[in-house]
Structure formats: structure tokens, C-alpha cells
A and B are shown apart, each in its own frame.
Chain A
Amino acid sequence: MKQKRRTMLYIPGNNPAMLIHGGTYGADSLLLDLEDSVALEQKDSARILVKNVLKNINFYDAEVCVRINHLDTPFGMEDLKEIIPLKPDAIRYPKTETIEDLKRLVTVMEEIEDQHEISHDEIKIHIMIETALGVQNVFEIAKLCHRLDAITIGGQDLTADMNIKSTKDGSGIDLARKMIVMAAKANKIDAIDTVFVDIDDEEGLRKETEKSKNLGFTGKAVINPRQIDIVHEVYTPTEQEIRKAYKIYKEFKKKRTEGIGVFAVDGKMVDAPVVARAKYTLELAHINLQEI
């Protein structure tokens, strides 16, 4: 089944207490961070800690991703050298701006993978678009390689790059969000929305998550485990929605064998887009389409 990424929990890579419990909060995906949440003098410390943690800590069902430092920094290369052999589910690459950025990352990854006899399609890549240039190039970058599985928008860095204030309604980065979603959708990969920093504002988080879901984001980054349930609720279809989608998909399968492409369910026309949406609802509800 397709990897669920409704929530991606950020965990600072130099923090043992948070790392060892990371897999117990129910997040779909975890981001062990070697980049912005780690002080410059502790990059080596975080790298070694995350390396050990990947080896020895059980993260249960969560997808485990590692955000490395950009290859332009003194840290990125060493991050990849130490982390790739441990085969995390994905590498997240920050501040991806051009197709050269991504190509360079892939080349380095493949070199290291060859050294350790790891196939080139085991470890996925997630990119972060955090600059205006990155936004401009996202369509080109997104179609570049098949191991690219998700695009995330880095709201904090983006507003800094654009020299604008970060507002609660996110109006400044609205276009960026939409372009990233479009690029992700065009390539049938995930789009993950940026963090909501006000941990105590549960209503605000819910509203923003609903907005981003409506835009097309498939999940949201969270910085505190308390945010996980709210995001999951927004992304979980209701009983009613599931029942409807189930009905439509079941009928679709039946009609397909009969060679019929358009039909009616409960008096409403069902064509390809309706079926696609029903499929998506069922996938969100984690229902196995084969079993219908």
C-alpha cells in the first residue's frame, strides 16, 4: 500500500529523548533532522547520534526520513556517507533550487549506494522548496527522477528568502504552495505542507490543515506530537465519505468488467474523475482497493 504521509514529525537530530520515543506518537512519517534544528557546532554529534538511532531504535510503522545538510555546506557529504548505508526510507534534501541540485544529490547518493551494494531505488528522495528560485524551478525538478517521492514547502525559509513577514494566513506563500502542489500532482507524488508553529493554537492548526488539504497537500509537517491527531482527523475521511467512496468504487469495478465507463450511483453520474476521488478517499482510509 502507498506510504501514508498525513503527518511528518520533525525530530531534532541531536536530541536523544525525542529520538528514542519518536516512533510512539502515531505520526505516519518521521523526519530525523541534521539540518536547521541542529547547531553548527553539533553537526557531527547529531550525525553520529542519528546513525546510531537508525541502527538501534525501533520506529515501528513510521516512515523514517533523514534531512541532511545541503551539499554546499561542510556537512552534507559526510551526512550522506554515514546515513545512506543505514538505508533510511528517504533522504530529505533542503533548499533544492535547481535541477543541478537534485542531479548532484542523486549522483552522490548513487556513488555511496554502489559502494554499499544498495540498489538505486530503495531510498526515496524528498525535496524541500524553500526559496523563490526553487519555486520557479519546481516543475522541472519534480519530473527529474523516479525516486523523488515527495515535495515539501519550507515556509519559514521561503518567507525569509522572499523578505516578507510570515503571517498566520500564509498569504505571502500562497502561490508557492499552489505551484508546489501542482508540480507534485503532475508527477503523482506527495506534497507536504509546512509547519504550523503555534503549538497551543489547535483551532488554527485545524483550519490551516483543512485549507492545505483543499489545496491538494497530502500531508503536513508537525513540530510537536500534540499536533498529530488534529492533522490526522482532517485527513481522515468520515464514515459517510468512506461508505460513499466504497459504493462508487465497487460499482466502478463491476461496470468495468462489463465494459461500461460512465454510470450512475445514487442518481449521480460517475465518471473517471469521480472514481479517482473515490479511490483517493479509500486510500486515505487505508482500505485495500484489491479487496473491494
Chain B
Amino acid sequence: MEIIKKAQAGSFESSDILILAEKPKDTKGRVIQLNSIVEKQYGEMILKTVSKVLDEFEVADIHLVIHDKGALTTVIQARMETVLLRASNNQKGTMY
């Protein structure tokens, strides 16, 4: 899947996660900036979850900025899927 435009999904609300995605500028590969209120406890697990979704959708190049407010894995997966579909213009059943 190719990331062709900027997109975001999720929110700053408690138990949610806000994910901003765009094509990486001047670099290739996956650039991920994570900011989480449970960094110490779950930072690693969140990155693993994010990577897994990127693998599933076969995303090679992406720049992600993530603000996590203690979202559960299933919520992270959902928001990742949403942002990837939006950023690759592959969403279905939307206004766009």
C-alpha cells in the first residue's frame, strides 16, 4: 500500500489514540514518533502493534506521529487501519 496523502484518525480523548500519517519527506522506510501516557508500560507494545498493521497492509514508507492516551490494542489497530485507508485514498463508505 502506498501512502499518497496526509491523513489522521482517532482523537485526543482518554482511551483513544491520535495517529497522523503522511509520506516520509526525503527518506524511505517507516519513521514513527510515539508519545504515550503509558510510555513506560506499553511503549514497546504499541510500536509492535503499529508495525504489525503496517506489515498487514504492506506499507513500506510512512511517517507516523502518534499521541496515545492509553488506547487498548484493538483500538490502536482500528485507528491504524483507518488512517492507512485514508492516507492511501482507499477508504470505502465515506464522504470522500
Q: In the assembly, what is the distance between CA of A53 and CA of B16, in Å?
A: 13
A17 and B16 contact, Cβ closer than 8 Å, known pairs A52-B77, A53-B74, A79-B93: yes
A48 touches B93 (CB 8 A): no
Q: Name which of B28-36, B40-48, B79-87 contacts chain A.
A: B79-87
Q: In the assembly, what is the distance between CA of A75 and CA of B96, in Å?
A: 11
Closest to B8 in A: A45
Closest to A53 in B: B74
A40 touches B16 (CB 8 A): no
A77 and B93 contact, Cβ closer than 8 Å, known pairs A16-B71, A44-B86: yes
B93 touches A47 (CB 8 A): yes
- Residues of B close to A199: CB separation below 8 A: none
- Residues of A close to B71: CB separation below 8 A: 16
A48 touches B13 (CB 8 A): no
Closest to B73 in A: A56
Closest to A79 in B: B93
Taking residues whose C-beta sits less than 8 angstroms from the other chain, chain B's interface range is: 20 to 34
- Mask, B49-76, CB within 8 Å of A = 1, is 0000000000000000000000111110
Whether, in the assembled complex, A74 has its beta carbon less than 8 Å from a beta carbon of chain B, the answer is yes
B95 touches A16 (CB 8 A): no
- Residues of B close to A78: CB separation below 8 A: 92-93
B94 touches A17 (CB 8 A): no
Closest to B81 in A: A48
B95 touches A48 (CB 8 A): no
- Residues of B close to A53: CB separation below 8 A: 74, 78
A51 and B78 contact, Cβ closer than 8 Å, known pairs A16-B72, A17-B14: yes
B94 touches A16 (CB 8 A): no
Which residues in A have some Cβ–Cβ distance to B below 8 Å?
15-17, 20, 40-41, 43-45, 47-49, 51-53, 55-57, 74-79, 81
